[in-house]
Amino acid sequence: MGCTCRRIALSDPGIPSYAQIVGAVNELSGPSDYVMTASGGLPGELVGGWRAVGGAPTIDVEYGFSCMGYEIAGAWGAAMAQRDRAVTTLLGDGAYLTSNSELFSAAFAGHPFVAVVCDNDGSAVIARLQQNQGCAAFDNFYANCLTTRQSPPRVDFAGHAAALGRSVLTAHDVDEFGDALVQARAAAKAGAHTAVVVVRTQPSTWTETGAWWELGVPPELPGRADYDEEKPRQVRYVRR
């Protein structure tokens, strides 16, 4: 596919970053495509990385609550409401584990969509928040769960989605991902069924968007100094 992914410093050439996934979806989407997400690191990456130029569609981000698990159910709703558009939903491994059963239910309804599951071994965005506040990293990636350090659990997301009766494609780099997305969209269109693309993604490569997210920080943590500096710059909406 030859994805250029201009906005992103290429990291490990093997495993794609979220930004590279967003760049690939962006390049492969046209006006009739509808791309959405809700939780984890993907909302920031999609908002920061998407370029709605050249007839590309706008995106839909459930940013009100950034609710894990919205992604698949929401995609079904979007596919139901917009039968003439191809829906692609992007979600993390944690969001997939939160809610995935509509992959099965949607099979009966005949509202196809494509779910892109980005597996980065855990709650990467929470690990980033944890460490940015000056905490030691623990309990966000499967590999550093305090209770299971010796044998971190791994989920076979492709096997799980296949067990729910879905067409599944796996990708190991950004070019394979582009090919898989094209095939998944074709499979969804032809079969009126949902297709799933599973791709391993980088756990700690992020696009710096410059946005500040207010998160209470206890005074004992080193991150408190940044909080005190940024907080006064926050723009407030004042109801008149």
Ligand X SMILES: Cc1ncc(C[n+]2csc(CCOP(=O)(O)OP(=O)(O)O)c2C)c(N)n1
Strand partners, 119: 200
Q: Which does 205 bind (CB under 5 to 8 A by kind): ligand X, Mg ion, none?
A: none
Stretch touching ligand X by CB under 6 A, among 103-111, 117-125, 160-168, 187-195: 117-125
Work out which of 120, 167, 205, 207 binds Mg ion, going by CB under 5 A.
120
Q: Which is nearer to ligand X, 93 or 102 (CB)?
A: 93
Nearest approach, Cβ of 71 to ligand X (angstroms)?
9
93 binds Mg ion (CB under 5 A): yes
Please provide residue 95's backbone torsions phi and psi, each rounded to the nearest 5 degrees.
Answer: -65, -40
Q: For 41, which DSSP code?
A: T
Q: Which does 131 bind (CB under 5 to 8 A by kind): ligand X, Mg ion, none?
A: none
Q: What is the H or E stretch that residue 183 is in?
A: helix 174-191
41 binds ligand X (CB under 6 A): yes
- The 3-class SS string of 97-126 reads HHCCCHHHHHHHHCCCCEEEEEECCECHHH
Alpha-carbon span 232 to 184, nearest angstrom: 46
Q: Which is nearer to ligand X, 98 or 105 (CB)?
A: 98
Q: Which is nearer to Mg ion, 79 or 157 (CB)?
A: 157
Work out which of 26, 100, 120, 205 binds ligand X, going by CB under 6 A.
120
Nearest approach, Cβ of 186 to ligand X (angstroms)?
26
Give the distance from CA 185 to its chain's centroid.
Answer: 17
CA quadruple 28, 109, 193, 2: dihedral, nearest 10: 10
Q: Which residues form the interface with ligand X (CB under 6 A)?
A: 39-42, 66-69, 92-95, 98, 120, 123-126
